[in-house]
Every structure is written in C-alpha cells, then in structure tokens.
Amino acid sequence: MVVHSTIHRYACAVLLLGAIAGRSHGCRASGDGKGGGAGPGTGTATGKGAVPSAPDFPISLPIGAVVPDPVTLLPGRPDVFVGRVTALARALQCPNCAGTGTKVTRHRDRAPARVVPTMRETRADCVDCHGTGFSVNPSRVSPVLDSLVLLLGGVDPDAPSTTKLLDKARTVLERLGTSGDLVEKVTATTRNCVTSDRIPCRGTACSVTGEVGAPIPIGGGVRLIPVKVSAHSMVFLRAPIINAVPSGGAVLAGGVIAGPIEKIEWQWGQTMILDGGYLVPLIPPEHKGPGIDADKDGVIDGPSPPVNVPRGK
C-alpha cells in the first residue's frame, strides 16, 4: 500500500513538472515570457531588437517639409521649339558617320584582267562612335538640351500645336536615352551640382540619371516623382510634361530647378524639385554599324566582306 502511494505521488510530480515546462516553452515561443522578446536577426518587425530595412525611396514627405514654389517660364514660339528639337536630333548624330554608325570607303579596282575598272566599297564601324551612330562629345549636346528643357517648361498646354510639339520632343529625348555613355557625360555637370552641398540657381536647366520610384502625393492633386541620383541625393519631378517611363528602372530625367526641399533631415540628403521636365527610360544603345555579334558575347565580330560595285552604278 505504501509502495502504491509513493508511485502515485511520483507520477503526479512528473506530470506537474512536464506541464510547467511545456507552458514555459510556449511562452518563449510566443514572445509573452519574461525577457522573451525577439532579438536581432530573428526577422520579425515587432521584436525589440529587430532592425527594419531602410526603404529605397521615400513614401511621403516629412512633417514640416517646405516645397519651393513652381517656376514660371515665359512661353516660347512653336517654331523656336521645333528648331530646338531638330537641333538636338542633329547634335546627337555622330559627325563622322552622320548617325549611321558605318564608315564607307570606296576603292578603285584596276585589275589587269578587267577592261572596265570597278569600285570596291568597304564598310566598317565608325571609329568615333564605335558603330552606335551617336556623338560622344557632350559639348555638342548639353547646350542644346538645356535650351530645349527651358522651352519645354514654357510650353502652353492649351495651344493647338502642343500635342505635336511634345511628340517630337519625346522622340528625340527617348533617342537621347539610348545614347549610352553620352548620357552620363551630358548629365555629369548638373549631377555633381545636385549631389554636392551647393544649391543650383533657381530657373536653370537640369538633367540627371538615376532610378525612378513611385510618385508621392503632396496634396492638391500634385505628385512628386522621385529619382534617386546617388545614395544620398535625389531629385523630385513635379508634374513632368513628358513622362515616358514605367514605374521603376533607370531613367534620364530633366527639368527646371525650383529649389531644394527645406526644413527636413532624412537619409536622402539634399533633395531638389524640378518643374516642367521630362522622364524617359535609359536603354542600352543598339549597334548600327555593319559588324555583327554572332556569338552574343557583347563584342562585334567584325565588318562584313567587301562589296564590289561596277563603275557607274
């Protein structure tokens, strides 16, 4: 009888200890136990030691941020606008190959066995633009682009010719976005000004490259489109006149500088507002010369064989 009573008490003690251990384990798993909050590296956003990941783009402006007033530019004449668009298109063309990406050399073939000499044409990639057809000199493009941006900011939205004018401008700006390294050279000066501590002059043209984020509403139906220029600098386009970019991706952005956003301190450093601007995608340049890349290794294999053309044709 004594043996059975001892065994019974021993079994009850084991069950009680098991229940206590199970409850303690459950509290630690749910975070309700004393000192059982999630630590660093647990991946939970609610833990005391969790470090939330920094967003790539802001989703709103900080409270108290002051946005500069919009820039007002005098409207320009349509013929002047078309002239600037045409000038920019010509400035983008490589002067050595007229934008074809190909340099053609003609040779006279005077073979003794032939009575009539023939002309032999040799086609090769242009040495100046490497077969892309684009000018690599930013001094040809930058001044024309800046003048076009200022005219773009003064376009009258109610004028009958505005739609055609903007279509022409969009076409040439999208072509600029496929000019490869030229875009980086064209925007280098302005981007350095934006990323530095200096404040660019209000009313001047600006062109930068970067990554585009989702628009930020700031009230009154106005949205700011952020473009991250570097890790610590950003520009915002306020109502761009030309927007040919889907959400996300690398872009070429430009506009008229309205000024920085003031009375804010955040991770993106100095942030500049651009008005009356444009937003076009950055696309790798397409090779236009005669060379081919049959093995798809990114290197042009070589020029096509020469073509003999009879004289007089």
pLDDT digits (tens, 9 = 90+) for 48-80: 444 444 568 898 998 889 999 999 888 888 999
**What pLDDT shows up at residue 9?**
61
Contacts of residue 38, Cβ cutoff 8 Å, sequence gap at least 6:
31, 44, 46, 47, 48, 49, 50
Average pLDDT over residues 83-102: 92
pLDDT at position 41 is 37
Domain of residue 232: give its range.
78-93+134-281
- 229 within domain boundaries: yes
Question: Is 204 contained in some domain?
Answer: yes
Which pLDDT score, from 0 to 100, does residue 21 have? 53
| Mean pLDDT value across the chain | 79
Please report which confidence band the pLDDT of residue 17 belongs to, taking 50, 70 and 90 as the band edges: low
| 309 falls within a domain | no
Q: Total domain count for the chain? A: 1
Q: Is residue 189 part of a domain?
A: yes
Residues in CB range of 225: below 8 A, 6 or more apart: 212, 213, 215, 216, 236, 237, 240, 243, 279
Q: Are 246 and 279 in contact (CB under 8 A)?
A: no
132-189 pLDDT per residue, tens: 899 888 999 999 999 999 999 888 888 888 999 999 999 999 999 999 889 999 999 8
Q: Which residues of 110-130 are buried (b: 16+ CB within 10 A; e: fewer)?
A: eeeeeeeebeeeebbbbebbb
Calculate mean pLDDT across residues 268-276. 90
Q: What is the C-alpha separation between 21 and 287, in angstroms, rounded?
A: 71
Task: Answer whether residue 268 is part of any domain.
Answer: yes
Question: Is residue 126 included in any domain, yes or no?
Answer: no
> pLDDT band for position 16 (50/70/90)?
low
pTM of the model: 0.72
Closest CA to 49 of 61, 36, 59: 36
Q: Is 287 within the bounds of a domain?
A: no
Length of the chain: 313
For residue 226, pLDDT beyond 50: yes
